[in-house]
Amino acid sequence: MQVKLLDLQAQYAPLREEIRRAIDQVCDAQAFIGGPALERFEKNLAAYCGTKHAIGVSSGTDAILAALMALDIKAGDEVIVPAFTFFATAGCVSRLGATPVFADIDPRTFNIDPVSIQKKITRCTKAIMPVHLYGQVADMDAINRLAADHGLAVVEDAAQAIGAKRHGKRACSLGRIGCLSFYPTKNLGAFGDAGAICTDDDALAHRCRMIRTHGEEPRYYHKFVGANFRLDALQAAVLDIKLRHLESWHEARRRHAALYDELFAGTPVRAPHVEPCNWSVYNQYVVRLANRDRVREHLAKQNVGSFIYYPLSLHLQECFANLGGKAGDMPQSEAACREVLALPVYPELAQEQVRFVAAEVLKAA
């Protein structure tokens, strides 16, 4: 049996005609930049995330970059980020001349550890950027307390967690500003790169809208140097169609995850730990395995897709060597890099496929 890590064709097929009609409407109107498709998606996205504003941008990376620019993060500033996450979280800090300061993770949830954050705060710290990794919200209660105590902004990197909840509140509504990615592999995926920024802060939202169009207001009058971070109307139209199906897709992922949890209970496979106050959307279903590489090799031979998110902690990346990170600095992050493996969990999976994947993992575990 072949089981892909992700099957985007299976998602697209039942939506094909609806999406093609939406694309045709944009093409017929020839309104490719801004316009009603973008405005409609932004309104619906803000309502879904529980924020006053949603600002569509060109990618999840650009969402982070624009959010940090809106907060005036600059050279000499420090932003605390997890060592175990996708590169863009730290990379965007560096692009602004600021310093990413790495904190370790909670080994159960893979999310940034508030205890480690507290140890990293200095007089140069301007913001904390928790990542809601794999679809589970970080410990925002503790993070927001730390931020309030030290006068810091909290930027949620919710690239993998649209729709995830903590105490019933959605990701992107728990900090000062939140960032989303609509890369095709995300739970809500575009037909290419796309992203969004969400916030309740009117002034920040206004600044982000200016930043995405070169800092201009009105046209051709530039208050500051921004960038071209616009979200194409075609992408907005596609995303607005998909947004209507997102909750049902989340529920399917959660059903698959629950079945995996049941099948891995009492075995050497460490299933994901989800805190009781959290509602995970399982952008990835990531297990921990002492013999991860052997299991992955076995799965490949059985035509089962799997992937390692992520194989090298950020503090050990070559591009951050100037920051002085060394092996042993982030023990939990480094251990995760050796042990994590993502298994297929996309909504269109059949139950027998989930059972097959679990059985093959257990054969090699």
The backbone region for 155, taken as left when phi is positive above 0, alpha when psi lies in -120 to 50, beta otherwise, is: beta
Please tell me the predicted confidence (pLDDT) of residue 146. 98
Instruction: State residue 320's pLDDT score.
Output: 98
**Superfamily covering domain 246-364:** Aspartate Aminotransferase, domain 1 (3.90.1150.10)
Q: 10 Å Cβ neighbour count for 297? A: 12
Low-confidence residues of the chain, pLDDT below 50?
none
pLDDT more than 70, % of the chain:
100
The pLDDT of residue 36: 96
Task: Tell me how far CA of residue 138 lies from CA of 32, 134, 274, 277, in angstroms.
Answer: 36, 10, 10, 11
Write the burial class of residue 76 (CB in 10 Å: 0-12 exposed, 13-18 middle, 19+ buried): exposed
pLDDT value for 71: 98
CA angle, corner 64, sides to 330 and 243, nearest 5? 110
CA distance 258 to 338: 24
* End-to-end CA separation in angstroms for the chain: 19
Q: How much is the pLDDT for 259?
A: 98
Cα separation, 9 vs 6, in Å, equals 9
* 3-class SS of residue 233: helix
Listed by start position, the domains of the chain span 8-243, 246-364
CA-CA-CA-CA dihedral for 162, 168, 169, 174, to nearest 10: -110
- Name the residue among 210, 203, 200 with its Cα closest to residue 172: 200
The topology under which CATH files domain 8-243 is: Aspartate Aminotransferase; domain 2 (3.40.640)
pTM of the model: 0.97
Task: Say whether 246-364 and 8-243 share the same fold.
Answer: no
